């Protein structure tokens, strides 16, 4: 059987030994397993961002890839440690704490199983009583066993209803009378771009096209943070350096950027359900 690749994301950073410990567990199970780092820079405790990042990249990997996502503020409590089978043939090893929200909504989850700690937990390393590092002792170990073929998905543990998966509220974009509205779902931490949940096709359906100058209003909890007219185009370079631009991002949703600048810093914007966006001619 062909062995699966393992792709990791956490909020651990590389500042101490947590990531190395997880990777060591994987290699101790099977030295031939390939480990790829997605990111270890998810904002601390931010299960919404963990969920969004999975949706951002999972579909671009080969069928059968095993993803390990560990953003786990409830580690050691009654929250479920799980492995989800996503439509398309991907496996997500993660705490069931909201990190599956976007994949459940956008791609669909075929089945989910709770990890059986009596079988799929690391033993014999003097860590049996540790309750704060399931990333190493449970998620990495179980993921490695699944990826190597030591266990099947059925042997992860008992299944439970997909409907009971813990999710964050999902806010759908709206369009009416030449206006579109939505939220800033996430920020690009490096370039400061603000990504909305508004799809390009919704803009076009309301008569807004590349080259238009559009009115944009961004509010946080009904307080206006930004209001102005912005060029709408396919890429950043169509705006002059330092000017804002509305563009079509890599997920076919609308984003806000500053050409060779940082929109989030310049206009003090964040992300999440409280950050509402409205765009109109």
Confirm whether 149 is domain-assigned. yes
> In whole angstroms, what is the distance from residue 58 CA to residue 72 CA?
19
Do 84 and 220 fall within a single domain? no
CA distance 107 to 122: 31
Average pLDDT, the chain: 97
Q: Predicted confidence band at 2 (pLDDT cuts at 50, 70, 90)?
A: confident
SS3 204: helix
Verify that 131 and 229 share a domain, yes or no.
no
Q: What is the pLDDT of residues 86-103, one digit of tens each?
A: 999 999 999 999 999 999
Q: Which of 164, 191, 224 is the last residue of a domain?
A: 164
Whether residue 1 has pLDDT greater than 80: no
What is the total residue count of the chain? 281
Domains identified in the chain, total number: 2
- Crossing angle of helices 18-29 and 141-148, in 10° steps, is 30
In a shared domain, residues 212 and 261:
yes
Residue with tokens 């759908």: 172
Q: pLDDT, tens digit, for every residue of 20-46?
A: 999 999 999 999 999 999 999 999 999
Is residue 125 domain-shared with residue 83, that is, in the same domain?
A: yes
Number of helices (H) and strands (E), helices first, in the chain?
8, 15
Among 109, 132, 164, the domain-final residue is 164
**203, 257: one domain:** yes
One domain, residues 112 and 182: no
**Parent domain of 61:** 6-164
The CA distance from 277 to 194, in Å, is: 11
Based on the domain organization, do 85 and 201 belong to the same domain?
Answer: no
């Amino acid at each position: 059987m062909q062995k699966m690749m393992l792709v990791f994301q956490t909020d651990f950073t590389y500042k101490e030994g947590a990531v190395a410990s997880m990777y060591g567990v994987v290699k101790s199970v099977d030295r031939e397993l390939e480990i790829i780092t997605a990111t270890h820079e998810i904002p601390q405790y931010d299960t919404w961002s963990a969920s969004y990042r999975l949706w951002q990249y999972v579909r671009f990997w080969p069928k059968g890839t095993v993803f390990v996502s560990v953003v786990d503020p409830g580690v050691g409590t009654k929250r479920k440690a799980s492995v989800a089978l996503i439509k398309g043939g991907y496996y997500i090893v993660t705490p069931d704490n909201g990190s599956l929200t976007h994949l459940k909504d956008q791609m669909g989850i075929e089945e989910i199983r709770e990890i059986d700690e009596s079988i799929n937990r690391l033993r014999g390393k003097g860590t049996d009583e540790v309750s704060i590092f399931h990333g190493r002792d449970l998620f990495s170990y179980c993921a490695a066993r699944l990826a190597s073929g030591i266990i099947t998905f059925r042997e992860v543990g008992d299944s439970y209803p997909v409907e009971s998966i813990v999710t964050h509220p999902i806010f759908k974009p709206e369009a009416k009378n030449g206006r579109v509205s939505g939220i800033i779902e996430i920020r690009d931490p490096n370039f400061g771009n603000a990504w909305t949940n508004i799809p390009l096709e919704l803009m076009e359906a309301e008569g807004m096209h590349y080259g238009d100058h559009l009115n944009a209003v961004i509010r946080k909890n009904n307080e206006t943070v930004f209001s102005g007219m912005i060029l709408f185009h396919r890429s950043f370079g169509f705006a002059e350096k330092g000017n804002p631009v509305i563009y079509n991002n890599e997920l076919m949703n609308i984003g806000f950027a500053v050409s060779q600048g940082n929109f989030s810093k310049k206009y003090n914007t964040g992300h999440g359900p409280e950050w509402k966006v409205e765009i109109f001619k």
